[in-house]
């Protein structure tokens, strides 16, 4: 078994506790490849932000689990080389079985999510508690989930969301002993978070999605004082990126995300980890499409992956500086 401590990673306990009471959220960025990881580390070192590197089971299949683990180890060394030792956690995103969580823990992950939200309440508790019991023996932190988000969660997809029931959170946390809890208050996975029917068209002709359920968050916060809450599905789907993608031959329709001011408000409350994947995908795709369209003679991957990496870095810096508020908290 490889200990996360030996490879310079940290678990999420301290970073999320500080964020929960400090009025900011730690970014949890998904990665599958080198350019994404370079951009994440460069952005978080330059802004002095703690960071959670997230690996989904799809990412493990795509990139190879061993390679991803060594990439995270390399990220720690890279951050040091860039001149700043920021706290870096390696986290399993949407783990769906005990065995997957156990395997990641054996491989050197410092944190895992066990997503039992698609099970019944009692089954969710049973599965989550089992993972926590094993993980805590190795000082690995565990994120659980209560409530179901709409959209695609790794290989599980749900058409409709069901909001977290605040009456359940205390019992869930007490019985499972999870270190953080993902809740459903209106965010959703992917780039099409809302149908136009759910949105309002404002005076500028912009589609405004329904606001997040801050009333539910307040109820949760009342019951779990100072406890780290997690928001999945928190990409904002920047209009500029969508426009660029479509200008250069893409076809994204009705792509709508979570407005940044809503995320800022959540981060100032007890939301201490915010998951962002789709915005990175959009930024990369826009940059690559632009190069392909404007410079069709290019065939060196560095000529399009380089601009994609620069665009990702700008996006990640913007998030920590202006949305999550984690800049300077490393
Ligand atoms: O919540 C899902 C994440 O965006 C990961 O997506 O399973 O396609 O890697 P993925
Ligand atoms: P987005 O699809 O909104 O980026 O959410 C990502 C996520 O929740 C990963 O777990
Ligand atoms: Zn998610």
Q: pLDDT tens across 200-237, in order?
A: 999 988 889 999 999 999 999 999 999 999 999 999 99
Q: Which of 258, 194, 279, 268 is nearest to 229 (CA)?
A: 268
DSSP β-ladder status, 26-30 and 271-276: parallel
Domain assignment present for 58 = yes
Q: Evaluate whether 143 touches 180 at the Cβ level (below 8 Å).
A: yes
CA distance 165 to 174: 15
Residue 40: per-residue pLDDT: 98
Q: Is the shortest distance between the CB of 111 and ligand 2 below 6 Å?
A: no
- Does 93 qualify as catalytic in the annotation? yes
Residues 146-162 have pLDDT tens digits of: 999 876 554 445 566 79
Domain assignment present for 70 = yes
Domain assignment present for 96 = yes
- Residue 99's contacts (CB-CB under 8 Å, 6 or more residues apart) are none
Q: Give DSSP secondary structure letters for 209-272.
A: PPPP-HHHHHHHHHHSTT--EEE-S-----HHHHHHHHHTT----S-B---HHHHHHHHHTTEE
Residue 150: per-residue pLDDT: 75
In this structure, the chain runs to a length of 330
Q: Which atom in ligand 1 lies closest to the alpha carbon of residue 155?
A: 7
CA distance 137 to 314: 39
Domain assignment present for 329 = no
Range of the domain at 143: 4-324
* Residue owning the nearest CA to atom 9 of ligand 2: 275
On the question of pLDDT at 41 being above 50, the answer is: yes
Pocket test for ligand 2, best of 232, 238, 266 (most atoms within 8 A of CB): 232
Distance from the alpha carbon of residue 232 to the mean position of ligand 1, in angstroms: 10
* Residue owning the nearest CA to atom 3 of ligand 2: 233
Domain assignment present for 201 = yes
On the question of pLDDT at 135 being above 70, the answer is: yes
Query: Annotated catalytic residue: which of 6, 14, 93, 115?
Result: 93
On the question of pLDDT at 94 being above 60, the answer is: yes
Residue 204: per-residue pLDDT: 87
For the chain, percent of residues with pLDDT exceeding 70 = 97
Pocket test for ligand 1, best of 94, 150, 273, 281 (most atoms within 8 A of CB): 94
CA distance 311 to 280: 9
Domain assignment present for 53 = yes
**Helices marked H in the chain:** 13-22, 34-47, 57-63, 65-81, 98-107, 121-137, 166-176, 214-223, 239-247, 260-268, 278-294, 301-318
In this structure, of 136-145, 173-182, 201-210, the range with the lowest mean pLDDT score is: 201-210
Q: Is the shortest distance between the CB of 68 and ligand 1 below 6 Å?
A: no
Residue 154: per-residue pLDDT: 45
DSSP β-ladder status, 200-201 and 271-276: unpaired
Domain assignment present for 330 = no
Domain assignment present for 126 = yes
What are the angstrom distances between the C-alpha of 12 and each of 27, 100, 297? Answer: 11, 19, 45
Residue 274: per-residue pLDDT: 98
Q: Is the shortest distance between the CB of 236 and ligand 2 below 6 Å?
A: no
Region 37-43: mean pLDDT is 98
Q: Is the shortest distance between the CB of 277 and ligand 1 below 6 Å?
A: yes
Residues 248-294 have pLDDT tens digits of: 999 999 999 999 999 999 999 999 999 999 999 999 999 999 999 99
Q: Is the shortest distance between the CB of 58 and ligand 1 below 6 Å?
A: yes
Ligand nearest to the CA of 274: 2
Q: Provide the number of structural domains found in the chain.
A: 1
Residue 85: per-residue pLDDT: 92
What CATH number should be reported for the domain holding residue 74?
3.20.20.70
Ligand nearest to the CA of 191: 2
Q: Is the shortest distance between the CB of 270 and ligand 1 below 6 Å?
A: no
Residue 269, number of CB atoms within 10 A of its CB: 16
Distance from CA of residue 92 to its chain's centroid? 10
Residue 211: per-residue pLDDT: 95
């Amino acid at each position: 078994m490889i200990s996360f401590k030996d490879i310079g990673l940290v678990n999420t306990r301290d970073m999320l506790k500080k964020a929960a009471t400090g009025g900011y959220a730690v970014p949890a960025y998904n990665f599958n490849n080198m350019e994404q990881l370079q951009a994440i580390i460069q952005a978080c070192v330059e802004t002095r932000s703690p960071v959670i590197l997230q690996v989904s089971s799809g990412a493990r299949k795509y990139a190879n689990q061993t390679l991803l683990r060594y990439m995270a180890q390399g990220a720690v060394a890279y951050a040091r080389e860039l001149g700043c030792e920021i706290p870096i956690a390696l986290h399993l995103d949407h783990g769906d079985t005990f065995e997957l969580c156990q395997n990641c823990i054996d491989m050197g992950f410092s944190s895992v999510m066990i997503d039992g939200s698609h099970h019944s309440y009692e089954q969710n508790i049973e599965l989550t508690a089992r993972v926590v019991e094993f993980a805590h023996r190795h000082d690995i932190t565990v994120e659980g989930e209560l409530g179901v988000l709409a959209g695609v969660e790794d290989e599980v997809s749900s058409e409709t969301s069901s909001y977290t029931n605040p009456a359940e959170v205390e019992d869930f946390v007490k019985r499972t002993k999870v270190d953080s809890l993902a809740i459903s208050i209106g965010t959703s996975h992917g780039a099409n978070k809302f149908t136009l029917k759910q949105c309002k068209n404002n005076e500028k002709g912009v589609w405004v999605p329904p606001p997040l359920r801050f009333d539910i968050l307040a109820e949760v916060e009342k019951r779990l004082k100072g406890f780290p809450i997690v928001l999945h599905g928190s990409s904002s789907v920047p209009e500029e990126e969508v426009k660029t993608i479509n200008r250069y031959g893409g076809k994204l329709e009705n792509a709508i995300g979570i407005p940044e001011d809503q995320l800022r408000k959540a981060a100032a409350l007890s939301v201490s980890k915010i998951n962002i994947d789709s915005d990175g995908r959009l930024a990369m795709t826009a940059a690559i499409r632009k190069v392909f369209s404007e410079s069709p003679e290019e065939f060196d991957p560095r000529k399009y992956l380089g601009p994609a990496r620069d665009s990702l870095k700008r996006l990640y810096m913007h998030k920590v500086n202006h949305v999550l508020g984690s800049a300077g908290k490393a």
